[in-house]
């Protein structure tokens, strides 16, 4: 069990806006990625209602808080890319899944490019960035999972970030107002391209993961880390 894991919470009747379709019929149980997302809807809702995210939504987030967030996210995305690379190296004899992971690596590089542009415009020297403890714990968890567990557990640990950001992007786009200084951030994460990457990763969850405590614990712990990530820059 990952350090800091507090057990699965009930999603209740909450159905997040923009919830990904499972493709299941009423007679079929939801596919695994859908089960994981809905089982952790309490944490997704906490992120949507978080002070940091509300500040992005209405443009009121202090620039210094966004600057600190960008600096930490550059550090995080570098580790995220390496976790993808480790997972890809361990998916042997399966060219299709390897191609999917390499496509996801390309998406992460595009995110890094966007954040490096943000960093340059905000005067951040990314070489001097030191991670906050919660960010270090998150990246340590991802890389430890990628090194020591199978590809299934790795994609279970990585999927929450992708699905959460795609979902938040769409939710924030629906309430966006002209002149929001964070419009570019919202546009990036609400894009069809980012949604496609999130679905690609969820597809790997369904194909590579064996449902059980290890997968469910990893998924929930990653979402808990996302809540802490939004808190840290404030």
Q: List the catalytic residue out of 47, 134, 161, 225.
A: 161
Q: Does residue 6 lie in a domain region?
A: no
Under 8 Å between Cβ of 53 and 47 = yes
Range of the domain at 87: 32-231
Q: Does residue 171 lie in a domain region?
A: yes
pTM of the complete model: 0.88
Distance CA(206)–CA(34), nearest Å, equals 9
Q: pLDDT by residue (tens digit) across 123-163?
A: 999 889 999 999 999 999 999 999 999 999 999 999 999 99
Distance CA(116)–CA(188), nearest Å, equals 14
Q: Does residue 16 lie in a domain region?
A: no
pLDDT for position 9: 36
pLDDT for position 114: 87
Closest CA to 162 of 71, 15, 33, 66: 33
Closest CA to 131 of 120, 121, 142, 122: 142
Total structural domains within the chain: 1
Q: Does residue 41 lie in a domain region?
A: yes
**110 catalytic, yes or no?**
no
**161 catalytic, yes or no?**
yes
CATH of the domain at 153: 1.20.910.10
Q: Does residue 10 lie in a domain region?
A: no
Q: Does residue 2 lie in a domain region?
A: no
Q: Does residue 4 lie in a domain region?
A: no
Q: State mean pLDDT over 213-225.
A: 98
Q: Does residue 56 lie in a domain region?
A: yes
């Amino acid at each position: 069990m990952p350090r800091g894991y507090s057990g699965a919470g009930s999603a209740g009747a909450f159905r997040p806006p923009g919830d990904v379709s499972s493709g299941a019929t009423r007679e079929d149980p939801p596919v695994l990625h859908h089960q994981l997302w809905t089982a952790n809807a309490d944490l997704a809702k906490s992120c949507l209602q978080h002070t940091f995210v509300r500040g992005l939504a209405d443009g009121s987030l202090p620039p210094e808080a966004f600057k600190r967030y960008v600096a930490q996210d550059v550090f995080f995305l570098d580790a995220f890319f390496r976790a993808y690379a480790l997972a890809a190296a361990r998916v042997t004899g399966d060219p299709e899944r390897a191609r999917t992971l390499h496509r996801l690596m390309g998406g992460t590089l595009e995110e890094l490019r966007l954040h490096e542009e943000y960093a340059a415009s905000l005067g951040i020297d990314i070489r001097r960035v030191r991670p906050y403890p919660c960010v270090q714990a998150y990246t340590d968890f991802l890389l430890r999972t990628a090194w020591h567990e199978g590809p299934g557990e790795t994609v279970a640990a990585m999927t929450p970030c992708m699905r959460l950001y795609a979902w938040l992007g769409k939710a924030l786009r629906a309430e966006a107002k002209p002149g929001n200084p964070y419009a570019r951030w919202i546009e990036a994460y609400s894009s069809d391209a980012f949604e496609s990457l999130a679905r690609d990763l969820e597809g790997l969850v369904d194909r590579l993961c064996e449902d059980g405590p290890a997968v469910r614990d990893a998924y929930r712990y990653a979402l808990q880390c996302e809540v802490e990530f939004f808190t840290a820059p404030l």
